[in-house]
Amino acid sequence: MDASQDPFGPARHGALPRHVPVLVIGAGFAGIGAAAVLGRAGYDVLVLERADGIGGTWRDNRYPGCACDVPSALYSFSFAPSPRATTGTGGGWSRRFAAQPEILAYLDGVVRRLGLGRSIRCGVEVLAAAWDEAALVWRVTTDAGTLTADVLISACGALSEPAPPQVPGLDAFGGPVLHTARWTPGTDLTGLRVAVVGTGASAVQVVPELARRAAELVVLQRTPPWILPRHDRPLPRGRARAPRLARAWAYTRQELLEPALVHRPELLAVAERHALAHLRRQVPDPGLRALLTPGYRLGCKRVLLSDDYYPALVRDTVELVPSALARLEPGAVVSADGARRAVDAVVLATGFRVSDPPIAHRVQGRDGVLLADAWRPTGMQALRGTTVTGFPNLFLLTGPNTGSAHTSMVHVIESQLRYVRDALDVMRERDVVAIEPTAAAQRAWTEDVRRRMRSTVWATGGCESWYADGEGRLTALWPGSSVRLRLRTRRLDVREYRAVRR
Amino acid sequence: MTAVPADFRPPTPARRLTVTSPDGARIAVQVHEPAGDPDAPTAVLVHGWTLSANFWVRVVHRLAGQVRMVVYDQRGHGRSGPVPDGGFTAAALADDLAAVLAATVPGDRTAVVTGHSMGGMALVAFAGRYPDALHRQVRAALLASTGLEQLLGRMTVVPWVGRRPANAPDDAASGPVRLALTRRALGDARALHLMPLRLARATLVRVAMSRTATPQERAYAADLMLACPQRTYEGFARALAELDLAGDLPRLDVPTRVLVGTADRLTPPWHARRMAAALPCPAGLVQVAGAGHLTPLTAPDAVAAAVLDLARRDREARPDQWVPRTHG
């Protein structure tokens, strides 16, 4: 079926309205969740998506092996805990950790089942948004025209903009250079010599797949990750009958990790022994194992789950180069320790721009201040991870210090959406046109977050990770349990805000 | 947190290649180039039974930047391919070495070849089979912790049973009972794999290493040996039991140094002394006090110093000038 004629899918044509009450940027988990939650609460929502389909992260990341790292029972909306509720096909999640196609199909099912298609416009990119202090609206410029919005919600995601390595020669390589998040479907690397740069979450998933297909595979590793057994398995169909029970169980298990990560990193030594035993079982050669043994506390960088990454590295056709990428030459990669390997294709599994999100360069608050400039001296910060002083009626989903290292980001998004809905309710009840957090409230919140951050493994574990920005400030993660975040974003505290009445 | 000492982390080779031996065995070779010194001498490092190229990790770290190194996995070990049927022979190991030298040591260059244990046997067999290549490509040799004959008979791996009188020399030949037990103990990988892992590791460490080995060295060595495929283990165990290469030793007529640990149970110093006496071009005998069989791992400084010394000497020097002034 031609997608453009799909009556229940997201719209792709037609003029934009001149004004919308609530404008959401991005149609991934956060944007779809916003359309569902705020739409049900009676708000008129328009979601603008620059790509020509929904799904966000799960549309962009199409590399072979892509799957989620949190049990699917939990990595799903609480109001639609299993695909059964959305696609009507019967079964629940097919595996404990669903693969990318299933998650994308799930999101598509959510959009159709809840009738969100008419709230979503695909193929429209927001180029700029500026707060009009006189009219008390956001003036939004898109590549399909301009419109105004009372409330602007950024649902762009923290992991959306690829971060290619800053090395010379990316253009001079002369063969395919692919970022995992910009994988061209149908790319076939079978029989080629391939280099994978990076050993993070995407690399650990793509390496086993490439190792099966490529003639030779070179994996460039700057720092070894900690890897725990994944225990992925197909789920029995019966499991779909109690999705909420499965969800509660998965939630509880994930949440048990939090005290160690945040308050007592030394307890993580137990998990380290577990991970080292996993490494020992899967890598018999002590030399390779020495290169794969991390020298920092487990949890400091993202903990990965894999049962097939280490076995892939053991294959005769796979070589681990324990060094960063120094440069690309025509037909070869060169590592920082001087090794040069001739390859036909390069896969960049180098992650995302987390601490300097592109959307911050497109949003101007009061007095024309760019969000990126407002953040530059202090690092990213937002009251309760969601609102920013100087930027009235702007809400950031997956905003500063809301990231979760131990549990589902969908849970975090739903916490934030409750907060946004409560904010909109308060504005409607009290006849308020615009709200903006006070500088004092935002400062107090940020100080509290950074004080809590001090005991965490991300601050003390002895590593460099994407959790920290260029200045070493930990602006990505929430230093606490997901319960705590949900409680702290349960209601809008009007004392923290400045309001403008009509 | 579990930092691994830097010299146990294998450096990245500048180049990797696969060489095919005459009988079809695929040999995985790594070449380490010193940056900015194209004229650096070449050292070829040949490991022993049940080990792999990573066995040399500490020596490679010490020689890095000073010599060009060619390190390879012997057939059936590490990343090299499986041993073809009938390929568990010293002659086949010699063929592998010849193929590696042909692929990595260009016509106008020479190399110092270091063989540890079964690698040393490969080197002596190579001298017997390829005299031309020996003279053309090998400038000097180091035989580290190796032996050429009576291997089972001289081992001291079986405790207590059939022990010699207290006044007998350390490495006198074993009697028949002890010999049978040694053959049984060495030849059967199955028993090793049936044991609890902890016991298997302890057994391997006791046999191959001395008391002076550090925990890190023990763990690394035990893992290396346990990673050896059972077929490789048993195939070469049978070959080693019957090996006699003493006849080839006189053909190793390049300056050759012998190195041994004084507490070696697998190839006791008896072998080293015997070889040093029979070498046509002896260049010294280095005895490392207290060291066990795995000298490149437990005495990397002594091994690296010997390689470097041999690599830097003038080939035309008189043989007596090759003898090191001090014994380690």
Q: What is the pLDDT of residues B47-80, one digit of tens each?
A: 999 999 999 999 999 999 899 999 999 999 999 9
B24 within some domain: yes
Interatomic CA distance for residues A154 and A49, integer angstroms: 11
Interatomic CA distance for residues B214 and A346, integer angstroms: 41
pLDDT in tens, B148-190: 998 888 888 776 655 555 555 555 677 778 788 888 777 777 7
Q: A335 at the B interface (CB within 8 A)?
A: yes
Q: A289 at the B interface (CB within 8 A)?
A: yes
Interatomic CA distance for residues A73 and A56, integer angstroms: 20
With beta carbons under 8 A apart, name residues in chain A contacting B35: 338
Please judge whether B10 and A297 are an interchain contact, meaning their C-beta atoms are less than 8 angstroms apart. Answer: no
Residue B324, pLDDT > 70, answer no
**ipTM above 0.90 for this complex:** no
Interatomic CA distance for residues B134 and B113, integer angstroms: 10
Q: Cβ distance B294 to B230 under 8 Å?
A: no
Q: Return contacts of A372-380, CB within 8 angstroms, 24+ apart.
A: A378/A446, A379/A355, A379/A469, A379/A471, A379/A473, A379/A475, A380/A355, A380/A469, A380/A475
What residues contact A459, with CB distance under 8 A and at least 6 apart?
A: A453, A474
User: Which of B4, B29, B217, B232 to mutate to test binding with chain A, by most A CBs within 10 Å of its CB?
Assistant: B4
Q: A316 at the B interface (CB within 8 A)?
A: yes
Please judge whether A338 and B9 are an interchain contact, meaning their C-beta atoms are less than 8 angstroms apart. Answer: no
Cα distances (Å, whole numbers) of residue A112 to A40, A58, A116, B258: 15, 17, 6, 79
B221 within some domain: no
pLDDT score, position B326? 42
B201 within some domain: no
Q: B57 at the A interface (CB within 8 A)?
A: yes
Q: Identify the H or E element spanning A497.
A: strand A497-501
User: Which of B18, B29, B79, B216 to mutate to test binding with chain A, by most A CBs within 10 Å of its CB?
Assistant: B79
Interatomic CA distance for residues A192 and A344, integer angstroms: 6
**Burial label, B229 (beta-carbon count in 10 A; 0-12, 13-18, 19+):** middle
Task: Find tokens 């009061």 and name the residue.
Answer: A366
Task: Find tokens 């690309």 and name the residue.
Answer: A328
Which residues on neighbouring strands pair with residue A164, listed in sequence order? none
Interatomic CA distance for residues A325 and B76, integer angstroms: 32
With beta carbons under 8 A apart, name residues in chain A contacting B57: 287, 290
With beta carbons under 8 A apart, name residues in chain A contacting B14: 338-340
With beta carbons under 8 A apart, name residues in chain A contacting B81: 316
The domain that holds B50 is classified in CATH as 3.40.50.1820
For chains A and B, CB pairs below 8 A equal 68
pLDDT in tens, A208-230: 999 999 999 999 999 999 999 99
Cβ neighbours around A81 below 10 Å, total: 24
Distance (Å) from the alpha carbon of B129 to chain A's nearest alpha carbon = 30
Interatomic CA distance for residues B287 and A253, integer angstroms: 58
Cβ neighbours around A243 below 10 Å, total: 20
- Give chain A's count of helices (H) and strands (E): 15, 20
Cα distances (Å, whole numbers) of residue B76 to B45, B57, B96: 17, 19, 12
Helices (H), ranges, chain B: 57-63, 90-104, 118-129, 131-137, 151-154, 176-187, 189-194, 197-208, 215-226, 230-242, 269-278, 295-298, 300-312
Minimum-distance CB partner of A291 among B1, B9, B224: B9
With beta carbons under 8 A apart, name residues in chain B contacting A265: none
Please judge whether B227 and A316 are an interchain contact, meaning their C-beta atoms are less than 8 angstroms apart. Answer: no
Please judge whether A339 and B28 are an interchain contact, meaning their C-beta atoms are less than 8 angstroms apart. Answer: no
Tens digit of pLDDT at every position of chain A (502 positions): 444 457 777 877 778 999 999 999 999 999 999 999 999 999 999 999 999 999 999 999 999 999 999 999 899 999 988 777 555 555 688 889 999 999 999 999 999 999 999 999 999 999 999 999 999 999 999 999 999 999 999 999 988 889 999 999 999 999 999 999 999 888 899 999 999 999 999 999 999 999 999 999 999 999 999 999 999 988 876 555 677 888 899 999 999 999 999 999 999 999 999 999 999 999 999 999 999 999 999 999 999 999 999 999 999 999 999 999 999 999 999 999 989 999 999 999 999 988 888 999 999 999 999 999 999 999 999 999 999 999 999 999 999 999 998 999 999 999 999 999 999 999 999 999 999 999 999 999 999 999 999 999 999 999 989 999 888 899 999 999 999 999 999 999 999 999 987 6
Distance (Å) from the alpha carbon of B279 to chain A's nearest alpha carbon = 34
pLDDT score, position A60? 94
Interatomic CA distance for residues A235 and A243, integer angstroms: 12
DSSP string, B94-132: HHHHHHHHHHHS-TT--EEEEEETHHHHHHHHHHHH-HH
Q: Cβ distance A335 to A220 under 8 Å?
A: yes
Interatomic CA distance for residues A219 and A237, integer angstroms: 37
> What domains does chain A contain, in order, with CATH numbers?
3-161+353-501 (3.50.50.60), 177-348 (3.50.50.60)
Q: A126 at the B interface (CB within 8 A)?
A: no
Which residue in B325, B308, B306 sits closest to B261, CA to CA? B306
Q: B4 at the A interface (CB within 8 A)?
A: yes
Side-chain-side CA neighbours of B216 within 13 Å: the count stands at 13
Helices (H), ranges, A189-294: 201-213, 243-255, 258-262, 268-282, 286-292
Distance (Å) from the alpha carbon of A463 to chain B's nearest alpha carbon = 12
With beta carbons under 8 A apart, name residues in chain A contacting B4: 290, 293, 295
**Total number of domains in chain B:** 1
Interatomic CA distance for residues B313 and B257, integer angstroms: 13
Q: B226 at the A interface (CB within 8 A)?
A: yes
Distance (Å) from the alpha carbon of B261 to chain A's nearest alpha carbon = 23
Q: A314 at the B interface (CB within 8 A)?
A: no
Q: A288 at the B interface (CB within 8 A)?
A: yes
Side-chain-side CA neighbours of A51 within 13 Å: the count stands at 16
Interatomic CA distance for residues A204 and B258, integer angstroms: 46
Interatomic CA distance for residues B48 and B101, integer angstroms: 17
For residue A16, the 8-state DSSP code is P
Sign, CA dihedral A423-A428-A429-A431, equals: positive
Which residue in A417, A436, A420, A423 sits closest to A374, CA to CA? A436
Q: B31 at the A interface (CB within 8 A)?
A: no
B233 within some domain: no
For residue A403, the 8-state DSSP code is B
Which residue in A351, A56, A293 sits closest to B216, CA to CA? A293
Range of the domain at B125: 9-150+244-322
Minimum-distance CB partner of A286 among B16, B35, B224: B224
Global confidence as pTM: 0.91
Distance (Å) from the alpha carbon of A477 to chain B's nearest alpha carbon = 22
With beta carbons under 8 A apart, name residues in chain A contacting B193: none
Cα distances (Å, whole numbers) of residue B18 to A215, A422, B28, B133: 14, 66, 5, 20
Task: Find tokens 């049900």 and name the residue.
Answer: A40
Please judge whether B57 and A287 are an interchain contact, meaning their C-beta atoms are less than 8 angstroms apart. Answer: yes
Please judge whether A288 and B224 are an interchain contact, meaning their C-beta atoms are less than 8 angstroms apart. Answer: no
In terms of CA atoms, which chain A residue is nearest residue B36? A338
Cα distances (Å, whole numbers) of residue A179 to A163, A186, A204, A264, B302: 9, 14, 14, 36, 47
In terms of CA atoms, which chain A residue is nearest residue B220? A286
Backbone angles phi, psi at A321, to 5 degrees: -105, 110
**Residue A28: both structure tokens together:** 């991934």
| Surface of B (196-215) touching A: CB under 8 A | none
Q: Cβ distance B67 to B34 under 8 Å?
A: yes
Interatomic CA distance for residues A445 and A382, integer angstroms: 8
| Surface of A (336-355) touching B: CB under 8 A | 337-340
| Surface of A (450-479) touching B: CB under 8 A | 462
Task: Find tokens 């944007």 and name the residue.
Answer: A31
Interatomic CA distance for residues B307 and B295, integer angstroms: 13
- Segment among A216-230, B214-228, B306-320 with least mean pLDDT: B306-320
Minimum-distance CB partner of B226 among A284, A296, A462: A284
**Burial label, A71 (beta-carbon count in 10 A; 0-12, 13-18, 19+):** buried
pLDDT score, position B327? 42
In terms of CA atoms, which chain B residue is nearest residue A270? B1
Q: B28 at the A interface (CB within 8 A)?
A: yes
Sign, CA dihedral B210-B216-B217-B221, equals: positive
> How far is residue B88 CA from its own chain's centroid?
16
pLDDT score, position B189? 75
What's the farthest any 2 CA atoms get from each other in chain A?
71
Sign, CA dihedral A419-A422-A427-A430, equals: negative
Backbone angles phi, psi at B20, to 5 degrees: -105, 125
In terms of CA atoms, which chain B residue is nearest residue A318? B79
Which residue in B103, B72, B79, B77 sits closest to B88, CA to CA? B77
Side-chain-side CA neighbours of A474 within 13 Å: the count stands at 28
With beta carbons under 8 A apart, name residues in chain A contacting B10: 287-288, 290-291
pLDDT score, position A243? 78
pLDDT score, position B328? 39
Pick left, alpha or beta for residue A309 (phi over 0 → left; psi -120 to 50 → alpha; otherwise beta). Answer: alpha
Distance (Å) from the alpha carbon of B53 to chain A's nearest alpha carbon = 9
Distance (Å) from the alpha carbon of A251 to chain B's nearest alpha carbon = 28
Q: A273 at the B interface (CB within 8 A)?
A: no
Amino acid at A34: A
Q: B1 at the A interface (CB within 8 A)?
A: yes
